[in-house]
Structure 1
Amino acid sequence: MTEITSPAAAAGSLIWHDSELLECTSVIPEGPNVATFCFRAPSGAMFDYLPGQFLTLELPVPGGPLYRTYTISSSPSRPLAISVTVKAQADSLGTRWMLDNLEPGMRIKAMGPAGVFSHKLAPCDKYLLISAGSGITPMMSMVTYMFDQGSEPDVVLINCAKRPSEIIFRDRLEHMASRVPGIDLKFVVGTNDRFKVWTGYQGRLNQVMLGLMAPDYLEREVFCCGPEEFMQAVRDALTALGFDMTRYHQESFHAPAATAAEVPVLDDVVPDETETAEIYFLHSDVRTRCTETDTVLNAARSAGLNIPSGCTFGVCGTCKIKKTAGEVHMVHSGGISEDDIEAGYILACCSHPMGKVEVEV
């Protein structure tokens, strides 16, 4: 692997090592239970790391030190300081301690930087960065690095949040995007803030949105960070769209990989065109064979049966039917509720039979 050298290292400057404590210089509120902690090296050393890497902090919580890993949200193109942006969850211990106790002037021990989640380790002409919540932190580091390079990048950044007021780094990202046309910024929110207008994308990120926001997604190197279920949904959508998943990279909230050997192998369910499936249409008393890459809707049509349908993309919900037996791989775009899925319903247009399946048609 080609060694990447930061501007600080190239200049021969004194580089910070984790044997030196970090001194907190500022605490910046970013949103509800979210803050950025900025640090410097008391010796004046510069920071050498790759955009997207992480630090492990030793936090002096009551009862003994606690070790927590946080993605670096600053960029190595600005090597005089280093920052992490943290979000406290309901059960947070270390992050809660930081928000309540860590103040400018305090010094803590940090280990690293480490990690292989960086666009610098996957050189490409075009990038697609997809994140949710505080998963924006490594993306912020990468985009800032691209911005600081001075040349125009080709990057689409999609960030999902519960509501507009909870979009982390919104102002800073919009500032960079307003100065560099090659930074294409997209936000998706679950719901509006009260008494404020939101005219952007709303709902769950899906294949339709992805195609609208980044029409050339097949040509891009994809980086994804967020909750596990969010990243699973992104992988399912990309797989269903025919994306080359060797060009997909993800970082986990809970277990970021320090080396390439620690990157987990993704064992997702992917329909196989060489595998045979069988669908029994119960009310019609018709049984038909197909492949796993066929949809239930297409199999029904091939068997001469009619399932009402509209968009054929998992949005409208017209083709919702009851599955009474077997398993399907369904990647929808918001056209069915979780309650319906729990009750056994599927959307025929985006459900692929895995083995033997029975449906009420």
Structure 2
Amino acid sequence: MASVSSSEPAAARLAASAPWDAEADDALVCLAVRDETHDVKTFVLSPREPRLFAYAPGQFLTFSFEIGAETIHRCYTISSTPTRPHAVSFTVKRVPGGPVSNWLHDNLKPGDTVRALGPMGEFTCFQHPAQKYLLLSGGSGITPMMSMARTFHDLAEPRDVAFVHSARTPADIVFRSELETMARLDAGFRFHAVCEADALDETWAGPKGRLSLDILRDAVPDFMDREVFVCGPKPYMDAVKAMLQGAGFDMARHHQESFDFGELSEGEQAAAAEAEKDLNAAPAGGVRTFRVEFAKTRRVLECPENETVLDAARKAGIRLPSSCAKGLCGTCKSKLTKGTVAMTHAGGIRQREIDAGMALLCCSKPTSDLVVER
């Protein structure tokens, strides 16, 4: 067999044997930007040196984006498949007014570098092996399902996978052509789309409206026998959960993404509603309270030692970026220029960042007065 020139970049990437380690090098280079729909793009990334990505389909990466003079953290589900380990991709819908999605669509281009941490997350079919799956997604919630579907397809796994996606119009069905091709090639894979309305250039011939029990029964008659994964906007996931519960589905086999991958405003609304329940709750007697100052906005609040800085900020009406509230995604990562905290995180921050004074506000309780660089 003729040898392949090592000067060929593609050959060098395919020859990679070492895994990508975000702790050693968190920089990822944008290789390509692909238009999926009129307002959805996929960004394909690779390390600067050839490395292999290892992750479970459905997991996510937490990114650090330099936007203006600010570093903003966001978590995005991996839409690519671990069966193609030489690159990784994430898919983003442009959200009106969304600071990150609009920046990505307008600015991130091949050759640019972003920083990432991960992979992370437990929302994956690998955690719940089954012979029959039902993947339910709405809008941009299709990304973890696409990773799962691509994985089973590439491996030619003898699995029965039914994929039901809800979109506004036929023009908004992300990955439509690929999903239809997979369904044509694989007898064990079925794809169904549900659209709320027609597109300007296409009258929708399939199920119309929002996903209902009747539509689900028609598309997947044996849905009660399947392992179900759900991802999408919170109202969609809430509606699907209520629908399955009403049908008597065994909810031990129902799995949904545990936090909102949408833009800040959506995540904040849900979090603020939760925090509002405790708005007037007084801390237990004898609990110390510390002063927390946000240097850039010059806002100041009092935070009890048994409460996280993020919760105290929400009660004070201070908007801070957050998503998972579990110390997992890294969205609320902030620099402490003064003071100390007790932080119990779930992997959303590196030790070297902690050593440099960074903290996850969602899982950090003050042990002294604080100054936060926000």
Compute the displacement of 1:252 (Å). 4.8
Q: Deviations over 1:194-250 (max 9, x none)?
A: 342321111110011111111111110000000101111101110111000011000
User: Percent identical across equivalent pairs?
Assistant: 41
Q: Runs of 4 or more off by more than 6 Å in structure 1? A: none
Which residue is equivalent to 1:97? 103
Q: Which amino acid aligns with 1:174?
A: E
Q: Does residue 233 of the first structure (1) align with residue 239 of the second (2)? A: yes
Report the CA distance shift for 1:96/1:152 in structure 2 as closer, same or farther (over 3 A): same
Contact kept? 1:152, 1:180, Cα under 8 Å? no
Counterparts of 1:133 and 1:115 in 2: how far apart (Å)?
20
Shift of 1:253: 5.7
The answer on 1:44 being equivalent to 2:46 is no
1:33 matches 2:36: no
Which residue number corresponds to residue 212 of structure 2?
Answer: 206
Q: Determine helix, strand or coil for the equivalent of 1:146.
A: helix
Q: Which amino acid aligns with 1:119?
A: C
Amino acid at match of 2:65: L
8 Å CA contact 2:33, 2:42 repeated in 1:
yes
What TM-score do you get using the length of structure 2 for normalisation? 0.64
1:75 aligns with 2:85: no
Which residue of the partner structure matches residue 126 of structure 1? 132
In structure 1, the partner of 2:184 is 178
2:195 matches 1:220: no
- Structure 1 residues 109 and 99, CA gap change in structure 2 (3 angstroms): same
SS across alignment from 2:90? strand
Shift of 1:255: 5.8
| Structure-2 separation of matches of 1:84 and 1:236 | 29
Q: 1:15 maps to what in 2?
A: 19
Deviations 1:78-97 (A, max 9, x none): 00100000112113111211
- Give the 3-state SS of the residue equivalent to 1:142 in structure 2: helix
TM-superposed deviation, 1:150: 1.7
What is the deviation of 1:29?
A: 0.8
Q: Which stretch of the first structure deviates more once superposed, 74-83 or 188-197?
A: 188-197
The aligned amino acid for 2:18 is L
| SS of equivalent residue, structure 2 residue 42 | strand
Partners of 2:224 and 2:37 in 1: how far apart? Answer: 34
Measured in 2, the distance between the counterparts of 1:89 and 1:123 equals 34
| Structure exhibiting the larger radius of gyration computed from Cα positions | 1
Task: Find the counterpart in structure 2 of residue 341 from structure 1.
Answer: none
Secondary structure of 2:214's aligned partner = helix
Question: Is residue 146 from structure 1 mapped to residue 178 from structure 2 by the alignment?
Answer: no
In structure 2, C-alpha distance between the alignment counterparts of 1:71 and 1:16, rounded to whole Å: 17
Supply the distance in 1 between the matched residues of 2:174 and 2:124 (Cα, whole angstroms): 20
User: Do the aligned partners of 1:211 and 1:217 also contact (CA within 8 Å) in 2?
Assistant: yes
Q: Which amino acid aligns with 2:34?
A: I
Moved more, 46-55 or 87-96: 87-96
| Residue matched to 1:321 | none
Q: How does 1:1-361 map to 2 (within 5 A)?
A: 13-18=17-22, 19-20=24-25, 21-252=27-258, 254=260
TM-score normalized by the length of structure 1: 0.66
User: 2-side partners of 1:142 and 1:255: how far apart?
Assistant: 17
SS in 1 for 2:191: strand
What's the Cα RMSD here? 1.6
Q: Deviation of residue 41 (structure 1)?
A: 1.5
Is the 2:16–2:50 contact (alpha carbons within 8 Å) kept by the matching residues of 1? Answer: no
Classify the secondary structure of the residue corresponding to 1:65: strand
Q: How many residues align?
A: 246
Q: What SS does structure 2 have at the residue aligned with 1:184?
A: strand
The aligned amino acid for 1:163 is: T
Contact 1:228 1:252 in 2 (8 A): no
SS in 1 for 2:104: helix
> Secondary structure at the residue paired with 1:186?
strand
Q: Aligned with 1:229: secondary structure?
A: helix
Pairwise CA distance, 1:174: 0.9
Contact 2:160 2:189 in 1 (8 A): yes
What secondary structure is seen at the aligned counterpart in 2 of 1:60?
A: strand
Matched position secondary structure for 1:201: coil
CA distance in 1, matches of 2:98, 2:258: 16
Paired AA for residue 13 in structure 1: S
